[in-house]
Chain A
Amino acid sequence: MSSATPATAQAQAQRSQRAPMLLDVKTNALDDGPGIRSVVFFKGCPLSCVWCHNPESRMATPELSFDATVCIAGSGCSRCIPACPQRALNRRNPGLVDRAACDLCFACVDACPPGALARVGRPALAGDIMATLLRDKPFYEASGGGVTFSGGEPTLHMRFLGELAGECKAEGIHTLAETAGEFAWERFERYVLPHVDTVYYDIKLLDPVVHRKYCGVANDRILGNFARLAALAAAGDVELLARVPLVPGITDTEDNVLAIGGFLLAHEVRRVRLLDYNPTWVDKITKIGAVNEFAAQPAMRAWLPHDAVSDLRARLAEYGIEAA
């Protein structure tokens, strides 16, 4: 792989910011919608939730990931170090990579025998993605499954998403989009909505101030988009499922959950899914050299007690909301 000068690297980065970036296509997914599904994970998200359980999906540009648990430097391997034209790799660096010096040429990835160094994110090419998705069509059909678009935020590239979902629909494949709701409604309605059967819509915090504090943006657009979608769902145009990711001490408070419950009722939505907190994200962030002060908190490193979640479900039930 040829090395890029800083200037061209910057240009590349800019280009890739505009082009949709694919994180991964996960096949045989059983928890991202009905049946057996493939999940297309896009890279890049307008929110910056502090607990983001896919931290590598946040930036819309490629990143270099280093997994120290896979590295075999202990048995004398150092193939990556001379492979780097920028000399950005050094055992003395925390996490091996000097992120300031790294120009993301990924020469080290090819050199690394055990795959401890990996490239995260590549330009999303509709043809390649469709080829991957179509391989598993028999599994979707036999199980009532399909394709789920997730991220990151899949609506970051409305046209691309819409085309991909449209191609799936043309193949008779069920489509589902998972979104955080921070998108321009008109573009969504125009490009995406005609091609998705189901939308999984995450609502994290109802208080706009708190939302801005933890997610980096206000939530007015998110709630507004939800209201529009709920109206369409009520008319039977699309299937909608609201989801609340439970995060200890942040979203899992009774106040917040009940406030969301009230909001849902106001839009005649009576079904919500509470997503169990998954603490494994805290180990992911170091791989991409990111820093997160919340990751250090003990509460962030534990699973939620089963009883607490049951209590929340019971309270929502009192509202007349079925919480799965």
Chain B
Amino acid sequence: MTLAAPVHSPVDAPATDPASTPVPYHPPVPSPRQRHRPRGATHLFVRALLGALATSYNHIPRLREQLRGVDGWLGVTIGVRTRSASVSAAIRFRDGHARTMSGVPEDADCVLVFKTGRKVRSFLTGTTTDQVFMLLKNDFYTEGSSTGLLMFIYLISLAIAKRQVKTMLREKAADDAIRRERAGRTDPDLAGRMQVRASTRLSATPVDPGVKLLDDPYLSVYSLEDFPRLARFLERHLELDAEVCPELPRLVTQWHRTHGFEVDEHGRPWHPVMRKALAYKYLMANRRPIIHPDDLIAGTTTTKETGVVVYPEGHGTMIWSELLTVPHRALQPYGISEETRELLHKDVFPYWLHRNFKEWVRDNYGSPLGQRIDDRFAVYFNWKAATISHTIPDFPKILRLGTSGIVAEIEAAIAADPGEHDRNVHRRSFILALEGLAAYSRNLAAEAARLAAAENDPTRRGELERLAGICAQVVVGPARSLDEAVNAMWITWVGLHMESTNAGLSMGRLDQCLQPYFEADLAGIDSLADIAAYVKRALELVGDLMLRCTDHLPLTPDVSNHYFGGSSSDQAITLGGVTPEDEDAVCDMTYIFLKATEMLSLRDPNVNARFHPGKNSDTYLKRLCEVNLITAATPSLHNDQAIFAALERYGAAPEDVRNWSATGCVEPTLSGKHIGHTNFQMLSLVAALEMALNNGRHPLMDWKVGPDTGSVEAGDFACFEDFFEAFRTQLAFLVDQSIRYNEMLGRAHQALRPTPMLSSLIDGTIEKGRDVTYGGARYNSSGAACIGLADVIDSMLVIDKLVFADCRVGFTELKRAVDSNFAHDGELLALVRNKVGLFGSGNADAVAMGNRITKMVQEIYDGYVNYRGGRYRAGFWSMSTHVSFGTLAGALPSGRLAGKPFTPGLTPQSAASVSLLDNMRDVAQLDPANMPNNIAFNVKVVPAAGESREQIVDTMAAYVKSYFQLGGMQMQMNVVTSETLRDAMAHPENYRNLLVRISGYNAYFVTLNKEMQLELIERAEYGL
């Protein structure tokens, strides 16, 4: 397959004067019918509620004080109406006063449009959790500023805080009770059985050519008990709730208040890249250098032990509505100090009210359709509203050169391309960012020296002195030892997370990156005892690095707990595979990382393993399977050959393709050279199917948003091809709208948050003199995650076979059954579930349908080139949105009932076959060329009682090897029984770090919302 002739980005930059302050968007004035003053009881009740709120703010000093921001009084006008206009009112906060009005004024910042009057009442009196559910269920939608709305919700919350918190505690208790009830009777002994898995460990003799030193690459003598320091860190990680950290938003807002955002203190327009670099340098130089107690690695992402980072220009303001309630919510509660709350509400968020990606697009492009669809959650979710950071920085480069070496390279590029042009503004910005990183590193060195001087324990003093020396060398100079390399990597990692959102930024091939330092260290060690001690120390250091990665969490608003439950930052690490020169890449460090993975069972970093069937050894593959067995869910396994095949058409240099690593969940990225924003969106394929069944109307949104493509009821579809075309048209419409929105968000990133620090570590930028957000990287692309593939394949098979080929069911009859959730159609439901060879059953027609749909999807994306000059790539994995999108979808022709989860990633539905091999063969036969952003194929396997460790591992390895041989791209195994998961649902305290793989990422099972827990329990389970 070759690429069609390139097209250009479908969206131009907005015609905004960069020096002007943002002009807020206001929703259109309601139609005359809705402008009239309604008088119904609900309307009066709503006005009374708004009136009571206004009165509280006008008369209670404590509340009124909350309207006083750093820049003056907070102002926002919120309209509230129903679709029928039975309710139409507004509340306005301005100059320290609140007043309500009938009707919605022209200058409203945000209007909430409710399905019914009753829903308005529930909203105004509910908890923030209620409000989230109402939003997801499309009980209301918003027009205009969602940030303004969040401020308003916070103002409601302040007024009714006590009651809200009480209700939330009740909700939490009720939620726990529901979990216990849904779990049913469980066997508490199962927890112990999971724990003893780690006590049996295989050993091996070295066979991989890259393993230079390890006698037993499986490192079977070690267990966590041998590393008390790591055990303590792990305990803290599992025990502590996260806390919101105010440092970054405080310092960044401070800098901008002084130096301006759109224009500088002298009124000159800022160059966005230069502005970002200066603000970044200020942040890095002034943030607290912290060395975590007892740590071997210096530096922390936040000032909290587990900190939540707030990026105000990203999605930081999404927590505004929850500032009071976030410590009390059922899922992922965060601590937040009163001081931080005040800072965010009065100082930070008002400054960024319009200076965030979403609102920038709304204001500059006039609330485009693509954004309004996104705001309603049921169809697609565009990640660029939060971040673009899904990529792999060039760690080897900074280890090799240090910031000083990279600065020298940039200076040489400036000297070779002299002049005061844009390219050199970008290049000088990179230098500023690197100086910021260097300043942080020096501050850490000083802090280490200070702590060492004050330390009484001689061992710890020695460690701190050593750290002081390390931080004096790196990250400014090159790393010379494993210690220095690991510290340099971590300092850089912290630095990158200070620049852009901690979601999906990934670390790449750490085994390849660190092996040279490991070998160099060992060159100076002779005695066997010293070698053993060194290996142990290397393992501790790697474990420590992985634990350091848990010191931060992305800011998760409650709505995301239901959308992306349990997800952490998804910092992917990639191991194994082949080198850029096509040699076996498995080395000592590969096994050291695997051992640390086995001992710690962390959800993040997300460990991905590459396996090259022709080049990598069975010894390595079996070790991957054993670690997967012990941890129950990690690593995720990738087939190098299939990934190469998937990426071939993009024409990258073969050595760069061979150097791929996984970003975020599973997505292939060409390490250090590629900005692939590999998760620009999560798109529900099922939404397009529902719209095709309803002539462009989406049932849950109750919105005729798509084009006319024919009505089932009117008999517009004479054959299957007609209907398939309708599906294609609806999907193309959704893709088009979401890409337009993505392109606008891309421009927002260029204006609000270029990333000069990251740019200095991505190949191509220095030469081009261009930040990565402007397309400076050597390789560019955007990646989509398409959800519900198996559900769509099965639905299409049912329509094709039962309706058109066999004529056993009329299309109208099927449609009526789907619309009524098969409530009166038991026979039809049985028919669709049993008389059609589903995807995953070994049916060649189903595989053909799968290839047809994936090809069609990729061809739609092929019609676009992004604003950085890259192509769009389709992938078929779902994070957790197969559950959330499923909740928001009706029944399907496949027999899946309304509200039920879709299948995860592209995994066949569990009814497809009793044989796992049917599943594997069908998935393996999907052509990787149509799935360049990778897949997530979930398999739940459970060892039979009495099988030996060798037997279990051999069988797992045989599955993986055969699946890869058949052409499969990726698979991920959950090695845990449904019974154990049920027990964990009932007794979370016994399963604190029970790992599960959702679709692409790992989570602690006990942190998931109950819908996701049930989805995991209901997945098909195959014996080993």
Contacts and interface: CB of A to CB of B under 8 A. Distances in A.
Nearest to A137: B962
Interface string A118-148: 0000000000000000011011011111000
B961 interface: yes
B954 interface: yes
A37 to B, nearest CB: 11
A75 B1023 CA distance: 33
Nearest to A143: B958
B915 A28 contact: yes
B830 A72 contact: yes
B778 to A, nearest CB: 37
Contacts of A35: 955, 958
A113 B828 contact: yes
Interface in B912-963: 915-918, 921, 944, 954-955, 957-959, 961-962
B831 A113 contact: yes
B520 to A, nearest CB: 38
A35 B952 CA distance: 10
A77 interface: yes
Contacts of B965: 138, 142
A97 to B, nearest CB: 19
A75 B822 CA distance: 12
A30 interface: yes
A113 B832 CA distance: 8
Contacts of B959: 36, 139, 142
A249 interface: no
A30 B1024 contact: yes
Contacts of A26: 915
A27 interface: yes
B989 interface: no
A113 B828 CA distance: 7
A147 B120 CA distance: 65
A30 B966 CA distance: 20
Nearest to A35: B958
A79 interface: yes
A115 interface: yes
Given A30-B1024, A138-B966, A139-B917, A113 B827 contact: yes
B788 interface: no
Interface in A142-184: 142-145
B754 to A, nearest CB: 48
B67 to A, nearest CB: 60
A114 interface: yes
A142 B834 contact: no
Given A27-B918, A28-B915, A28-B1022, A139 B962 contact: yes
A115 B958 contact: no
A94 interface: no
B830 A113 contact: yes
Nearest to B920: A139
B842 interface: yes
Given A75-B826, A75-B827, A142-B957, A114 B833 contact: yes
A27 B827 contact: no
B827 A72 contact: yes
B958 A135 contact: no
B835 interface: yes
A236 interface: no
Contacts of B1022: 28
A76 interface: yes
B954 A143 contact: yes
A247 B918 CA distance: 34
Contacts of B957: 142
Nearest to A36: B958
A104 B827 CA distance: 23
B835 to A, nearest CB: 7
B830 A77 contact: yes
A75 B826 CA distance: 7
Nearest to A115: B834
A72 B826 contact: yes
Contacts of B955: 30, 35-36, 143
A79 B962 CA distance: 42
Interface string B818-838: 000000001111110111000
A142 B958 contact: yes
A16 B999 CA distance: 49
B817 to A, nearest CB: 12
Interface in B787-834: 826-831, 833-834
Contacts of B918: 27
B917 A79 contact: no
A36 B1024 CA distance: 10
Contact of A114 (B834, B961, B962, B966): B834
Contacts of B917: 27-28, 36, 135-136, 139
B1023 A30 contact: yes
Contacts of A115: 830, 834-835
Nearest to A79: B827
Interface string B959-984: 10110011000000000000000000
A106 to B, nearest CB: 14
Contact of B958 (A72, A77, A114, A139): A139
B1023 A77 contact: no
B934 to A, nearest CB: 22
A79 B944 CA distance: 40
B916 A28 contact: yes
A115 to B, nearest CB: 4
Nearest to B842: A135
A138 B965 CA distance: 7
A206 B966 CA distance: 47
A72 B944 CA distance: 33
B424 to A, nearest CB: 56
A290 B302 CA distance: 72
A143 B959 CA distance: 8
B827 A141 contact: no
A113 B1023 CA distance: 29
Interface string A14-39: 00000000000011101000011000
13 contacts: A28-B916, A28-B1022, A30-B944, A30-B1024, A35-B955, A36-B958, A72-B827, A75-B826, A76-B827, A77-B827, A113-B835, A136-B917, A145-B958
Given A135-B921, A142-B961, 19 more contacts: A26-B915, A27-B917, A27-B918, A28-B917, A30-B944, A30-B1024, A36-B955, A36-B958, A36-B959, A77-B826, A79-B827, A115-B834, A136-B962, A138-B962, A139-B958, A139-B959, A142-B959, A142-B962, A145-B958
- Of all A-B residue pairs in the complex, the 4 with the closest CB atoms, nearest first, are A143-B958, A113-B830, A114-B830, A75-B826
